[in-house]
Amino acid sequence: MQSVTIATVSVALTGERSQQLPLHAQFLLYGSRTKMSNKPARLLEKYDLLLDHLDFEYIRKSTNGREVENIVKVLRSGEEGYFPQLTAFAEERLKSLRPDSKLLRKEQPLATKHTLPEQQWKEISSNLSEWESMVKTLNDELRSARIDSEDSTIPKIRGTLDPFASNEEQTAKVPHSKVITYCDYDKWDKFDADTEMLKMDLDEERHREMVRINNQKNSEKPNIIELPPEVKLSQQEKQVVAGKLREKGNDYFRAKEFKEAVDEYGKSLDLYRTAACFNNRALAYIKLQRYNEAIADCNECLTLEPENVKALLRKAQALFSSGKRREAYKAYCDVLRLEPANAIALTNTTSLRRELPDLPPPNAVRLSIEEVGNAVTEIDFSELIRPKKIIKDKLPDAIKQLKKDSADLIRHHTKAQPKHTDTEEMTLFPKPPPRRTPLIEEL
């Protein structure tokens, strides 16, 4: 049924036969062509394959291992749809043509303490210890007693089943991965290829790192080495390692794995505290709806950089999401003091003032009023005046000398004037002497 569908689509895509289709089918075909022209090159164009090659009959007749390998890549990518039976048939054909192909390799992690669940590891360890004790007792019995072929104590031949695995584990089914069907167009519209590719790269990197560590542990001889309690790094080394951890956290954040991103940011901050790392971890906390931790990280970022606008915006977002709208309004006002034309802060302050009319304007300033008591303390101005040189005041001495001189002058004047009779009036201005008439003899 799938091969028939693919063949029908291939006939519709050819230019000559498309004219034989009905009008509505030609319109849909033309729309699909114009829509596909805007997309990047597909794997069919990359590997120089036709859509007719995705067919059971063609794959069965093909003897070129490289071509079948490219067909398997196209089918696994899901660009042309999801065909599990055709993919399995192509893999079987590739196995017969090229058994050593890389596409047929399936890596499995080693069963260690770090890769298995804790309960399963404890169960395996207990089973191993019981088996060791049982083999030891049997070995002692066989050495001490005579070996008899009909002895029932001799263990039977081991079978193919795992003796340590429980029935539930043997019957447990492997969970299937969630694959989007080819006809579910809503999910395909929401599908983000870049994010999924980044997740695949991260998973592959984790798996390779785990395999490398396990292989290194298995290849090395068990040596007991006393490690130092703590590796001492210089300040520059801490900055470099913290920067790498922060970049790794950014990769997790782009892949929408926010819990892993928070862990990587925490490791980076343990080595070296930076405002950017606090800011990134606050955003990851907001995505996880852990608003109190996000507010704490924003406060730490603002202590390092008080004018960080991103930290203020994320703090306001966390406060608003946690129901603290007045505090969020205050944070948006702080953003407007730094950037008066910030669009996010302006829109949010407007909406908050509509919900809470008693909020002040964003540019309002609160004045602090200090109460002063009625008792006024006297100020001693003599302490404020401190001349460089003290000069003695001569005015009192001059007044005394003036009084003394005036008294001496009056006394001297009274002695110089003649004495008058008591009946004579004392005047300030003395009368002039009478004019004497000259005698004839004098004339």
Instruction: Identify the pLDDT of residue 229.
Output: 57
Instruction: Tell me how many degrees the CA angle 102-103-109 measures, rounded to the nearest 5.
Output: 80
Phi then psi for residue 55, to 5 deg, are: -145, 145
Instruction: Locate 19 and state its tokens.
Output: 């004219």
Instruction: Locate 315 and state its tokens.
Output: 């703090």
| CB-CB contact of 302 with 271 (8 Å) | no
| CB-CB contact of 297 with 279 (8 Å) | yes
Helix (H), strand (E) at residue 97: helix 84-97
Sign of the torsion formed by the C-alpha atoms of 268, 270, 275 and 281: positive
Instruction: Identify the pLDDT of residue 431.
Output: 58
User: What's the Cα-to-Cα distance from 357 to each of 171, 224, 318, 352, 372, rounded to whole Å?
Assistant: 65, 71, 22, 8, 34
Instruction: Locate 302 and state its tokens.
Output: 């603002």
**Gap between the Cα atoms of 289 and 369, Å rounded:** 40
| CB-CB contact of 234 with 264 (8 Å) | no
The residue extents of the domains of the chain are 43-99, 235-322
Which CATH code for domain 235-322?
1.25.40.10
**Helices 235-254 and 275-287: crossing angle, nearest 10°?**
30
User: What's the Cα-to-Cα distance from 23 to each of 14, 34, 119, 172, 250, rounded to whole Å?
Assistant: 16, 17, 64, 53, 50
User: What's the Cα-to-Cα distance from 422 to each of 38, 416, 419, 425, rounded to whole Å?
Assistant: 146, 18, 9, 8
Instruction: Identify the pLDDT of residue 160.
Output: 47
Low-confidence ranges of the chain (pLDDT < 70): 1-41, 109, 145-178, 221-231, 364-393, 417-443
SS3 content of the chain, % helix, strand, coil (to 5): 60, 0, 40
Matching residue, tokens 């291992």 = 65
